[in-house]
Amino acid sequence: MILKKRTIIRITKKIGKFVLCFYIVLLFLFSYTVLNTKANLKDILFPKNSKKMERGIIVDTSTFDEYGGITCLTKNLIEQMAQKKKQWQFSLLLDQKNQTLTKLTYLPNVKVIKIVNPFWRFQKIVFNLFNVPTFGLARDKLMQLICYGNVFLDDNIDLFWDPVGGRLINDFSVPKVTTIHDTIEIDKPELFDDTTVRWVKERNFRGLKSSHKIISVSEFTKQRITDIYGINENRIKVIPIHLSERVQYNSDITKTKEVLKKYQLSKHNYVIFVSQYYPNKNHERLIQAFSDFIEHNKAYSELKLVIVGNMSRSGGIIEKFAHQFNCKNNIIFTERVDNEKLSILLKNALCFVHPSLYEGFGMPVVEAMSCGIPIACSKIPSFLEVVGDAAIFFNPYDVSDIERAMSDIIKSPELRNNLIKKGYEQSKKFKDSHTMTSDYIKVFDEVMNRKKNY
């Protein structure tokens, strides 16, 4: 019986591979006959009645979550660059609905090009059926040939910018700039399966190798890129993330009351953590530490833990985990919230706790500091670099140490006030998003001015 099952599995895989190959051939023929029309694509990128732009920049935002932090950061950068450099044409590649980025088309020099993902909703099935690293690289290459090929062959394209790092293997002659936020799959392989780690490492290696300039969000990430991929540090420019306009500092009093009432909260009576679910974010240990704190401190039985962010990646595991504890009614999952609600929830919290096991930068802690709430966070390299001495640090692997840090802040008004002052001063280093934009413009200019040498 077992042999029969194995035989069936082998045959199924062979059939699957044949179907995939046939599918790829059809896609290639389709791309050659339908999409291999440079004039049409050129018309999309540069309509005949449009003003001639000095520079053409392609931005790959095809994999972006609409409400993600990287989406907000990229939107802020493109918006400011497009306003400062009116003769630069930004073309955003999108394969799904993303209103956050689509709204940028109000600027005359920003366009959206909707691309087709040839694997669409079948992607996960194919990933599971075949070797992930091999298929992942093949998929990237196919996406490049079918969806982007003609873009790079157009004389009007002067730069390709990959804002998330390693997502596309670019073998074209168009100069490329890649932004790397972290190297988590390599540094924390225990959080991922082996095939994903191998795939990401190979994908990133090829993507970075083809980049003429790499932007890192921190000195820590720069060092890891150099150590892991052997990239010369002269090719890497560190540009720290500066605050975008996600956090709104002046909220309507009525709206504030409405938001707090919705989640049954009162001012300064809850601890907050902002992050969608990823294995490195360490939600479980934070929940455990909070539960222990409530159990050991009956005077704080009404204190709440508010977790803001999309938990769908956990498949309901986080919510089930929280419901194991006696304080389950004290733990609130808000899911995604808009910028105004996020700002209100941050500004009215007692403290912000970030238990992440690994970060390339850590934008939420900067936003929390700028909102005037004290921070307790993991003692990891990126946080030490970004936060300085404006936080209470803890070992993210030690539940009792997380509880200790929370307890110190919650019980000491003097400590909270001291951290708030330090945090607000520290956050000023990351408030001028125009400085970040100017640094990006300098990198783009440098690369595009060297285009003639390639």
The residue-averaged pLDDT of 39-56 equals 53
Confirm if 355 and 282 have CB atoms less than 8 A apart: yes
pLDDT in tens, 422-454: 999 998 888 888 889 999 999 999 999 876 544
pLDDT digits (tens, 9 = 90+) for 252-311: 788 888 888 898 988 899 999 998 888 899 999 999 999 999 999 989 889 999 999 888
Compute the half-sphere exposure of residue 265: CA atoms within 13 Å on the CB side of its CA. Answer: 29
Domains of the chain, CATH where assigned: 51-242+434-453 (3.40.50.2000), 253-430 (3.40.50.2000)
> pTM of this prediction?
0.78
> How does pLDDT run across 10-31, given as a tens digit for each residue?
666 666 666 666 655 555 544 4
- Which residue has tokens 């599971």? 128
Mean pLDDT estimate for the chain: 80
Report the pLDDT value the prediction gives residue 396, as an integer from 0 to 100: 95
Q: What is the pLDDT of residues 407-430, one digit of tens each?
A: 999 999 999 999 999 999 998 888
Q: Average pLDDT for residues 372-387, to the nearest whole number?
A: 93
Q: How far apart are CA 319 and CA 317, in angstroms?
A: 6
